[in-house]
Structure 1
């Protein structure tokens, strides 16, 4: 439940800034997402018939880092490096590039192979990141890269001579090659792919082509370009809507594709939630409200059409509707109830603290608006509070499978717990505030791997939207320094921090979080000489 005593409540910020964010939601109805190295590599391998293969290859070449990897820091480099390296080896095998271009491709592929050897060497095994289906994607791609290396022995490629006798890679610890083999055998025998694997259907390889159990929505297989490319196959099945979907997925990035497309339900809910939670006075287009109401009419909703329903999107959507004055009974959330917390969906591998925070907020909004039959809701809220307090890290932060940064998880959990007066919630929020204050960088920013505007914005939310934050005498100075950093940061720079099959950046959400933090700081009179019209 939002803090009704917030000092920013009812204060109107610069309408043009908020309106621009909302206008983007309607101008880009399918959502705005960063291009994906992983999905671009898979699409290039699985759908060579798709126009603009040159653009996808250019994207892969330009995205490689000096150490030969692709993707994020630490463990997050493994999956995209496997995908990009395999894709470049596939292009070389097809022999559809000029000699000069083949030299560039071979050099990049060789650097990728060297990077994989470092990532996967036995003395320092790569740990699988907690990204979507990593335990199945890693062994699938490792096997494909090994198959390329086997072919090099009989069909050498200039520039990759040293790899013809190289040892083959082993799947990283934490992989599940046996589970992958069983899933493929089930699909081979039955022709059916379980719905929970649709979003990662590309792991099935050629078996995925036209799998009869798969039901695309708007041409998309579970909002995944990679899965859709696998389902279409090579040559593509006669599915014009799915072919058109893949073409549209690459339209905004010169052929490169995002990892999840479309993105609109999740994007709209999180964008509105950031602005409304910070007290930004916005005029939400009626069409956005109607779309959200329609999505929840049938019960629990997913992040976009074709994705399975989940407690995270549903809880956040219900809380957002309530804050817009359109409350709905949250009964659909009961299907995700477990003994001591709520799952995103039944059978998930890793529970999500932020999903539970959003369920807590949805129930709190409901309880605040009615006194009839809320006993079960209150009991569930108490269990969620106890579970969130229990999974808080010793240092006061939280972490979550949907975002690589602890500042995201800590902001969402602390804000959900802030209105609660028992169950250890108050102490948990105070510890979160203390951790936030203790981890600020010298330049006023915050960030897991380095300074980012998005993470700095989450820290400002923690400090200025919680009672414990506003009560701490250190907060004003820390938030002012964060505010100064945000004003000097490029508002269009959004390093990928969100977790799907790899790290990505939902740009509209990142803009909204930053704008909301600037609003919080400026309306808290941290910078008396800065007017709200200066928000970028």
Structure 2
């Protein structure tokens, strides 16, 4: 592999890597394993609740654990954990239960526990009001919190909060999925959270599941077993005492969320060091050999599949990492058991019986198979994992997350490592079966999307993460090192180098390598609470400081995407930089969004003539503007709309331009009489839609002898009578409109939209098409006048016209209904095919549609602004021809007319901003902070995509004039 580097890595980090290896091996115990996970207040609270009867007297078994939580209570009454609301709630509930349990017995009943408990309860009352249940990712929280609430009710403590019913419904659904007979017989993940099933499960039937004294390496689950089993278990008590001993650095009596984590710490650390280019010959061979033997023997003992530690039950994530580590350590183990145990038809599962797949697990499996001795032998599995991973990125609305991790940069890093290595090996001639769709569209777009998101999210101090996280910063650097190897990252490679340099400065100045104590900002792994792991964190940091950037020589990485036209990117960057909405953004961001847009163009070109053949039209000047009209706004406000939705809206935008061309061409070709044919066709088609009848599409080229589906008149080859020709013309119009409507209403990614959202799309489609005919009629009447200004027979006042026919004619309202169907489809499909409205209430629908209405008016105003000269030449109705403007009567200049249009648009913008503010308020009040913000962001994206055209029209007219 040829490696070059844009970023200086002259400092030698091998000593730090060897110190890490030494720590891993010296802290490992043959009997108990290894664990350096951060302390867990939640688990410590459960351990503090364990009591047993000695000589007829009940005694607390781990009093130091209670003393630890007693000392750790914050001034506001809470126990914070990673600083998030979910952790604070879960921790505080568990500690409050412990306080109430100790109140009468601690220190002989003479204590201040009652006021402490009251303060904790008061904190919970406030914190629960703002808890967004649906955005919470913690293991079994939907079972743990209701169980804690039930137990607190015994002490007279009840809690009501806005999303309580949502939580209880989730709990009921989850509980219904648990088959306790399976739990009694098999080693399932339920064993990790037994404290959530107090009163529901028979703990006496779980004894055989103990492994080295623990239940699935969980201190809280093991504590619950000791509390609720009828027979005391000495091995479980010894296990908890050992964990307390190992966690003394967090305070005596503290425990962690999981212990041990031997396989996890060994595997992740080794993979990180080797993937970042450390020289094996300069690493401690004794340590490497010991780790290799431990991992190999562990896999062999469990028949080739393993969990985060020995005997806790296998998962594909830890198995894949262990297999990859052994490949690096030149002690390979067969990949076959991994595939046999976890492969499914479309992806790999992490656990048996899991509810939803893990993106990171599939990434780690892809990475493992690519590192196999013979990766070509696993081509089918490699392409399956790669397809699943890219599909997740291609279709996910908002940030792409993983259920095992709180940081969005973790799946971004793993995706980058896996897919870039796949492209590298493809460049060496491997994996010939890879599809064009994956190679030329999905992978390039996915990877460049990740680049843009990472670069845009860096904090001013060089870090990533909400509070500045060392580990998250390392993820970003490792991802960028891989991604900068892509040929199409060339135009922003300098910015990547700057970003990496700033990140490394942050990592070194924050003493990230030498200060190994895990801080709350690094509690980014998902357990019952957020946690960090010392060795894993350290391995990521030292790897980020060592890796070459770019990791691969770009010429060795196979990319199916066509070359990016550098001169055009530079030209567009200058032009878009003139638009008001993009002023203040650094140049590299504009370049990145433009490059991202170009990655969509090949697929867009493929479907360019699927709806309208564009016969008789000049080259479409709008074509290369289309992608950026969505990638720019999406990047500008960091909306993170899925690439699939972005592409779909680019397609609809293109087709809507073509609809304008079609109506203009029909009237030009067939004369004003064609307008009635258009109206009739629209009526028939839309009436059928309301009856559930979708019009037929035109046959594809070659299927009936007609290249574009148009009728050729009569089979006898004669020209036919005038009446027959008229009928043929009508049939052509009807067929082409039917084809367009069929395209929209059979679009595969609106299938799961709700009946209401489909209905709104049908209504807006009729309004949109009829608005075109009205515009055509107005144009015909205008053309009959001696002078175009003023329009002598306006259908209404300018205000009513611009808010009605004029704005409906621009497709914004119908396109807004379409995007609601797209997003509703995506949301409903993820929920198993339910048919819920995307905007959930009448009030939200009303405000969202009002926002769309205002932006439609603004867009029409600037459309008229940009086409003023063309409209005069063609005598098309323009806003400035309305009597209100008195253009010719008062001999106003174009600048005067444009000034009046701008003043009206400013008024509409002020009204629109009020609507946006109200939309955010109502959405967050109705569906919660996170989901409400998302609904607001989607409407903002639609606005910004439209706003970009209003600003373009100030400089250029993108309409196509007929050939």
TM-score range, shorter chain: 0.7 to 0.9
Contact 1:453 1:494 in 2 (8 A): no
Report deviation, 1:439. 0.7
Tell me the equivalent position of 2:95.
84
TM-score normalised to the size of structure 2? 0.48
Q: Using the alignment, how far apart are the partners of 2:144 and 2:264 within structure 1?
A: 24
Report deviation, 1:192. 6.7
Tell me the equivalent position of 2:451.
433
Contact 1:42 1:83 in 2 (8 A): yes
What is the 5 A alignment of 1:230-309? Answer: 230-233=224-227, 237-251=231-245, 252-253=247-248, 254-281=252-279, 282-283=283-284, 284-297=287-300, 298-309=303-314
1:57 equivalent in alignment to 2:57: no
1:108 equivalent in alignment to 2:101: no
Contact 1:138 1:172 in 2 (8 A): no
Q: Secondary structure at the match of 2:494?
A: coil
1:310 corresponds, among 292, 315, 318, to 315
Q: Which structure is higher in helix share? A: 2
Segment of structure 1 superposing worse, 392-401 or 491-500: 392-401
Tell me the equivalent position of 1:137.
144
Tell me the equivalent position of 2:680.
none
2:502 corresponds, among 481, 500, 506, to 481
Q: Using the alignment, how far apart are the partners of 2:210 and 2:173 within structure 1?
A: 24
C-alpha spacing 1:322/1:511, structure 2 compared with 1 (3 Å): same
C-alpha spacing 1:185/1:327, structure 2 compared with 1 (3 Å): closer
C-alpha spacing 1:223/1:320, structure 2 compared with 1 (3 Å): same
Report deviation, 1:255. 0.8
Q: Which has the larger radius of gyration?
A: 2
1:461 equivalent in alignment to 2:478: yes
What is the 5 A alignment of 1:316-335? Answer: 316-334=321-339, 335=341
Tell me the equivalent position of 2:543.
516
Tell me the equivalent position of 2:15.
16
Segment of structure 1 superposing worse, 388-397 or 176-185: 176-185
Q: Secondary structure at the match of 1:223?
A: coil
Contact 1:420 1:426 in 2 (8 A): no
Tell me the equivalent position of 2:411.
409
Report deviation, 1:337. 1.4
Q: Using the alignment, how far apart are the partners of 1:359 and 1:91 within structure 2?
A: 47
What is the 5 A alignment of 1:139-288? Answer: 139-149=146-156, 171=164, 173-175=166-168, 176-178=170-172, 186=180, 195-205=188-198, 209-212=203-206, 214-233=208-227, 237-251=231-245, 252-253=247-248, 254-281=252-279, 282-283=283-284, 284-288=287-291
C-alpha spacing 1:388/1:182, structure 2 compared with 1 (3 Å): closer
Q: Secondary structure at the match of 1:148?
A: coil
Contact 2:305 2:319 in 1 (8 A): yes
Contact 2:187 2:313 in 1 (8 A): no
Segment of structure 1 superposing worse, 388-397 or 175-184: 175-184
Q: Using the alignment, how far apart are the partners of 2:12 and 2:165 within structure 1?
A: 50
Report deviation, 1:130. 2.2
Contact 2:482 2:549 in 1 (8 A): no
C-alpha spacing 1:212/1:353, structure 2 compared with 1 (3 Å): closer
Report deviation, 1:74. 3.5
Tell me the equivalent position of 1:32.
36
C-alpha spacing 1:481/1:396, structure 2 compared with 1 (3 Å): farther
Tell me the equivalent position of 1:531.
none
C-alpha spacing 1:181/1:386, structure 2 compared with 1 (3 Å): closer
Task: Please list the CA deviations of residues 339-385 of structure 1 after superposition, one character each: whole Å capped at 9, or x if unmatched.
Answer: 2111101221232111000110111122x5365xx2xx212221221
Contact 2:72 2:79 in 1 (8 A): no
Q: Using the alignment, how far apart are the partners of 2:177 and 2:448 within structure 1?
A: 46
Contact 2:264 2:309 in 1 (8 A): yes
1:502 equivalent in alignment to 2:505: no
Contact 2:68 2:253 in 1 (8 A): no
Q: Using the alignment, how far apart are the partners of 2:136 and 2:183 within structure 1?
A: 31
Report deviation, 1:330. 0.8
C-alpha spacing 1:181/1:16, structure 2 compared with 1 (3 Å): closer
Tell me the equivalent position of 1:450.
467
1:346 corresponds, among 346, 349, 352, to 352
Tell me the equivalent position of 2:681.
none
Task: Please list the CA deviations of residues 311-356 of structure 1 after superposition, one character each: whole Å capped at 9, or x if unmatched.
Answer: 1111111112112222232111222112211110122123211100
Report deviation, 1:59. 3.5
Task: Please list the CA deviations of residues 111-164 of structure 1 after superposition, one character each: whole Å capped at 9, or x if unmatched.
Answer: 32123223334x8664462222122112111111222226xxxxxxxxxxxxxx
Report deviation, 1:60. 5.1
Report deviation, 1:182. 6.4
Contact 1:314 1:333 in 2 (8 A): yes
Tell me the equivalent position of 1:44.
48
Report deviation, 1:190. 11
Q: Using the alignment, how far apart are the partners of 1:109 and 1:138 within structure 2?
A: 17
Q: CA RMSD in A?
A: 3.2
C-alpha spacing 1:337/1:235, structure 2 compared with 1 (3 Å): closer
Contact 1:220 1:228 in 2 (8 A): yes
Q: Using the alignment, how far apart are the partners of 1:459 and 1:356 within structure 2?
A: 19
Q: Using the alignment, how far apart are the partners of 2:538 and 2:230 within structure 1?
A: 38
Report deviation, 1:11. 9.6
- Give the total of aligned pairs: 494
Contact 1:199 1:227 in 2 (8 A): yes
Contact 1:404 1:499 in 2 (8 A): yes
Tell me the equivalent position of 1:75.
86
5+ residue gaps, structure 2: 29-33, 53-58, 424-433, 552-963
Q: Using the alignment, how far apart are the partners of 2:486 and 2:165 within structure 1?
A: 43
C-alpha spacing 1:235/1:318, structure 2 compared with 1 (3 Å): closer
Report deviation, 1:258. 0.6
Contact 2:37 2:534 in 1 (8 A): yes
| Structure showing greater relative contact order (alpha-carbon pairs closer than 8 Å, 6 or more residues apart) | 1
C-alpha spacing 1:138/1:234, structure 2 compared with 1 (3 Å): closer
Q: Using the alignment, how far apart are the partners of 1:183 and 1:396 within structure 2?
A: 28
C-alpha spacing 1:65/1:482, structure 2 compared with 1 (3 Å): farther
TM-score normalised to the size of structure 1? 0.83
Segment of structure 1 superposing worse, 487-496 or 36-45: 487-496
Report deviation, 1:487. 0.6
Q: Using the alignment, how far apart are the partners of 2:13 and 2:486 within structure 1?
A: 27
